[in-house]
């Protein structure tokens, strides 16, 4: 016998009697299997961080990308099917460049998030397609300040001050509930992000597999934090990683 859901989970366009789209829920399960990524807004900027979770010494960590630059002022961390994420990032980059060509200004972060989520939503209602199995944390800066958005495979999104996606989402969000403050400095935010990843992975994180990007309001550029600077920040509080 097949489970009760089997009659409704073979096509994205079929609702179950209780109003569920099982293919979307399965896409969320794919996200839960992905590496944990965290994002947070602090006083003067924002941070995205993830652990690449390299399990083989034969893999070059630099070849694994979990945080993508979309435009000079905005980027995204992903969890789930990274191949799906690259398709969404490509779409986002095109939309960002369209905004610069047509209006001669950077695209607002919320508008970009809506563009990405509109594409995600389309893939939840057409036969012959499947939802994108990826969640994203989109961090950027515009005239309204630093913005952080979390997106879901369904195309839903919400603005957050701190959040996580991937397999450690629940543990990290509980950690943020007790430790997060909007008045943190840049270095405090970096240490909090690393500690959150340690919490999710239940082990000390290796600097070589960490990927951290940030935005400062005074610079308005989406940049990667170098390993040397990261080690200096972590060692200030004896918060060493192996």
Given this model, what pLDDT does residue 237 score?
61
Given this model, what pLDDT does residue 1 score?
36
Q: Per-residue pLDDT averaged across 60-81, rounded?
A: 94
Q: Per-residue pLDDT averaged across 22-33, rounded?
A: 95
Is 0.85 topped by the overall pTM?
yes
First-to-last alpha carbon distance for the chain, in angstroms, is 50
236 domain residue, yes or no: no
Given this model, what pLDDT does residue 3 score?
56
1 domain residue, yes or no: no
Domain that holds residue 227: 24-53+61-231
16 domain residue, yes or no: no
Model confidence pLDDT, tens digit, residues 225-238: 999 999 999 988 65
Q: What does the alpha-carbon distance between residue 139 and residue 52 come to, in Å, rounded to a whole number?
A: 19
18 domain residue, yes or no: no
Given this model, what pLDDT does residue 64 score?
87
Strand 37-42 vs strand 45-51: parallel, antiparallel, or unpaired? antiparallel
Residue 194 has pLDDT above 50, yes or no: yes
Q: How many domains does the chain have?
A: 1
Model confidence pLDDT, tens digit, residues 97-119: 999 999 999 999 999 999 999 99
Confidence band of 150 (pLDDT split at 50, 70, 90):
very high
Short-list 120, 176, 178, 187, CA closest to 148: 176
Given this model, what pLDDT does residue 56 score?
82
CATH of the domain at 178: 3.60.20.10
73 domain residue, yes or no: yes
3 domain residue, yes or no: no
Given this model, what pLDDT does residue 71 score?
98
189 domain residue, yes or no: yes
Short-list 43, 105, 30, 96, CA closest to 68: 96
209 domain residue, yes or no: yes
3-class SS letters over the chain:
CCCHHHHCCCCCCCCCCCCCCHHHHHHHHHHHCCCCEEEEEECCEEEEEEECCCCCCCCCHHHCCCEEEEECCEEEEEEECHHHHHHHHHHHHHHHHHHHHHHCCCCCHHHHHHHHHHHHHHCCCCCCCCCCCEEEEEEEEECCEEEEEEECCCCCEEECCEEEECCCHHHHHHHHHHHCCCCCCHHHHHHHHHHHHHHHHCCCCCHHHEEEEEEECCCCCEEECCHHHHHHHHHCCCCCCC
């Amino acid at each position: 016998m097949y489970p009760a859901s089997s009659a409704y989970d073979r096509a994205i366009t079929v609702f179950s009697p209780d109003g569920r789209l099982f293919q979307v829920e399965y896409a969320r399960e794919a996200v839960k299997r992905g590496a944990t990524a965290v994002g947070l807004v602090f006083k003067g900027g924002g941070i995205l961080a993830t652990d690449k979770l390299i399990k083989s010494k034969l893999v070059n960590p630099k070849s694994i990308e979990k945080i993508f630059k979309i435009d000079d002022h905005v980027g995204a961390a992903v969890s789930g099917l990274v191949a799906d994420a690259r398709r969404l990032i490509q779409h986002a980059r095109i939309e960002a460049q369209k905004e610069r060509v047509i209006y001669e200004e950077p695209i607002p972060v919320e508008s970009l998030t809506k563009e990405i989520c509109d594409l995600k939503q389309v893939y939840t209602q057409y036969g012959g397609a499947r939802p994108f199995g990826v969640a994203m944390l989109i961090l950027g800066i515009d005239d309204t300040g630093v913005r952080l958005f979390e997106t879901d495979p369904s195309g839903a999104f919400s603005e957050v001050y701190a959040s996580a996606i991937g397999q450690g989402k629940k543990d990290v969000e509980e950690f943020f509930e007790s430790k997060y403050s909007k008045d943190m400095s840049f270095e405090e935010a970096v240490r909090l992000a690393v500690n959150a990843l340690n919490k999710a992975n239940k082990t000390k994180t290796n600097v070589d597999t960490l990927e951290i990007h940030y935005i400062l309001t005074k610079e308005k550029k989406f940049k990667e934090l170098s390993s040397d600077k990261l080690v200096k920040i972590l060692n200030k509080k004896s918060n060493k990683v192996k």
